[in-house]
Structure 1
Amino acid sequence: MEHNANAPGLDESVEPSDIKMRARDVSIYYGAKKAIDEVSVDVFTEHVTAFIGPSGCGKSTFLRALNRMNDTIPSARVEGTIELDGEDIYASGMDVVQLRARVGMVFQKPNPFPKSIYENIAYGPRIHGLAEGKGELDAIVEKSLRRAGLWDEVKDRLTDSGTALSGGQQQRLCIARAIAVDPEVILMDEPCSALDPIATAKIEELIDDLRGRYAIVIVTHSMQQAARVSQRTAFFHLGHLVEYGHTSDIFTNPREQRTQDYITGRYG
């Protein structure tokens, strides 16, 4: 198979139906500074895709482009195409609010709303009109908290503030909040970096449970985490995508020397 220099590791033999999001030749600028240089990557429907690489290499910038979070930065500009189910998410007719319901985001630092646990989950479905009445809303709240592995811990204190939970619980609450609007893709920007090892293990277990229901993309500083939770890995360096492929290949048989050097700890 020929490898396009801009698309290291894209597998042209994959069925289009397996691809949820497709990025081609994406460059991202902050003013005159180019943060991402012609990156092409596929996000698969039933896989966890990990973005790895040293700090400042562009992984989070690229992740935020997948649901147009960079729109909130006045100097940011995106070139190239990013498609969700074949539809260009940067097309002028794209409803960004709807896009962000379909492509949810979980941030590095848990950021529950200063509301009750119940309201944290109910807020999205309510504004998107996903529930007819209180009974349906109650069901969505319970289902989302169950999927996030949090229901048994909070079911008796749904009126307590979400900010009163522990850090790991807050992060699972934020994942439940993302799930509640029935997304198709969940983006996670270093979701465990603020958490202790026990909370991290719970989030990783949760990611494994959610795989197959959602396409998941995770930015992580931890190569061990990428190896544990993902099926595909993209290695970024200085705004370039160096290598992209099956996680097992990237970690045991990388094609690029820079990948080998990063994985063996020579830099980063």
Structure 2
Amino acid sequence: MSASVPAQPDAIDSTFGTVSAFPEPVEGPKIAARNVSVYYGEKRAIEDVSIDIPKSYVTAFIGPSGCGKSTFLRSINRMNDTIPGARVEGQILLDGEDIYRSGMDIVELRARVGMVFQKPNPFPKSIYENIAYGPRIHGMTNSRSELDGIVESSLQRAGLWDEVKDRLSDSGTALSGGQQQRLCIARAIAIDPEVILMDEPCSALDPIATARIEELIDELRGRYAIVIVTHSMQQAARVSQRTAFFHLGRIVEYGTTSDIFTNPREERTKDYITGRYG
């Protein structure tokens, strides 16, 4: 794929506002899924999903409730392993390595592929210890000063440092909802992941906190491959450059966000985007 493909102009839509358009990535995919199906016992939640997720963009998964988007997201760092009776068929490759291969180090995988959940879930520890916990258990530092540096830089990247720098010993659970979610993002990036998965990270937040998280996602884009599940099509249009529309456990359509929202190829995508169902 040629590196000289020019960026397309922003597409304007009266419902979704400005939808960013970007050129196709020139590097190989960070994550490549091939014919992935996920089962909970006998129930198949995901069927034959194949998708390439680029390194430098934000990719959004949209679709109605129960369509399988969160199930697929959790399969990317094997969170479904924690559910009794869950099994995955097919391949999910991280930099070409099958994460479901025998002998895969799950702890290492989850260090490379961090996750931010729908409800903020800070540890019942201080703000400092919320961030320091991961680097400490992964042996990333040799001194307290190095650990202090990781804590500060992680909180700065998450846009939280100026708000908490004078109360790092306070409990993380004492922060507001939006601050707690940014703390969880700081905790995820403290161990220097390559991918950040976000499962409806703003659904429990007010509009002001949601706007701050969206700004943060945009600031983090390029440092990490980011995948976000969202029920808000407006949010997907604002923060992502690639969008996959899930329906009944399958990907119906996947492409640039501008195309999905302004010129979808599939009738089912158009029906969902225009609110005919969902």
User: TM-score, normalization: structure 2?
Assistant: 0.91
Partner of 2:42: 32
Rounded Cα–Cα distance in structure 2 between residues aligned with 1:110 and 1:121: 14
Rounded Cα–Cα distance in structure 2 between residues aligned with 1:221 and 1:181: 28
Could you say what secondary structure the match of 2:204 adopts? coil
Could you say what secondary structure the match of 1:245 adopts? strand
Pick from 53, 59, 75 the counterpart of residue 65 of structure 1: 75
Pick from 23, 33, 46 the counterpart of residue 23 of structure 1: 33
Q: Which amino acid aligns with 2:102?
A: S
Partner of 2:98: 88
Pick from 35, 42, 54 the counterpart of residue 52 of structure 2: 42
| Residue deviations 1:161-217 (CA, integer Å, cap 9, x gap) | 000000000000000000000000000000000000000000000000000000000
Rounded Cα–Cα distance in structure 2 between residues aligned with 1:241 and 1:75: 23
Could you say what secondary structure the match of 2:30 adopts? strand
| Residue deviations 1:81-102 (CA, integer Å, cap 9, x gap) | 0000000000112100000000
Rounded Cα–Cα distance in structure 2 between residues aligned with 1:84 and 1:169: 30
- 1:239 paired to 2:249: yes
Partner of 2:229: 219
Offset, 1:47: 0.3
Rounded Cα–Cα distance in structure 2 between residues aligned with 1:52 and 1:151: 32
- 1:101 paired to 2:101: no
Pick from 174, 181, 202 the counterpart of residue 212 of structure 2: 202
Partner of 1:54: 64
Offset, 1:107: 0.1
Offset, 1:14: 6.1
- 1:190 paired to 2:215: no
Rounded Cα–Cα distance in structure 2 between residues aligned with 1:132 and 1:204: 34
Rounded Cα–Cα distance in structure 2 between residues aligned with 1:53 and 1:42: 18
Rounded Cα–Cα distance in structure 1 between residues aligned with 2:227 and 2:245: 13
For the aligned residues, what is the CA RMSD? 0.9
Q: Which amino acid aligns with 2:212?
A: K
- 1:79 paired to 2:89: yes
Q: 5+ unaligned residues in a row in structure 2: which ranges?
A: 1-23
Offset, 1:42: 1.1
Rounded Cα–Cα distance in structure 2 between residues aligned with 1:45 and 1:132: 30
Q: 5+ unaligned residues in a row in structure 1: which ranges?
A: 1-12
- 1:142 paired to 2:159: no
Q: Percent identity?
A: 82
Which stretches of structure 1, 4 residues or more, deviate above 3 A after TM superposition? none
| Residue deviations 1:16-42 (CA, integer Å, cap 9, x gap) | x33101001000000000000000111
Contact 2:25 2:54 in 1 (8 A): no
Number of equivalenced pairs: 255
Rounded Cα–Cα distance in structure 1 between residues aligned with 2:55 and 2:44: 29
Could you say what secondary structure the match of 1:213 adopts? coil
Q: Which amino acid aligns with 1:29?
A: Y
Q: Which amino acid aligns with 1:49?
A: T
Partner of 2:18: none
Rounded Cα–Cα distance in structure 2 between residues aligned with 1:175 and 1:185: 12
Contact 2:25 2:56 in 1 (8 A): no
User: TM-score, normalization: structure 1?
Assistant: 0.94
Rounded Cα–Cα distance in structure 2 between residues aligned with 1:262 and 1:244: 14
Rounded Cα–Cα distance in structure 1 between residues aligned with 2:77 and 2:52: 14
Pick from 162, 165, 168 the counterpart of residue 175 of structure 2: 165
- 1:181 paired to 2:175: no
- 1:154 paired to 2:146: no
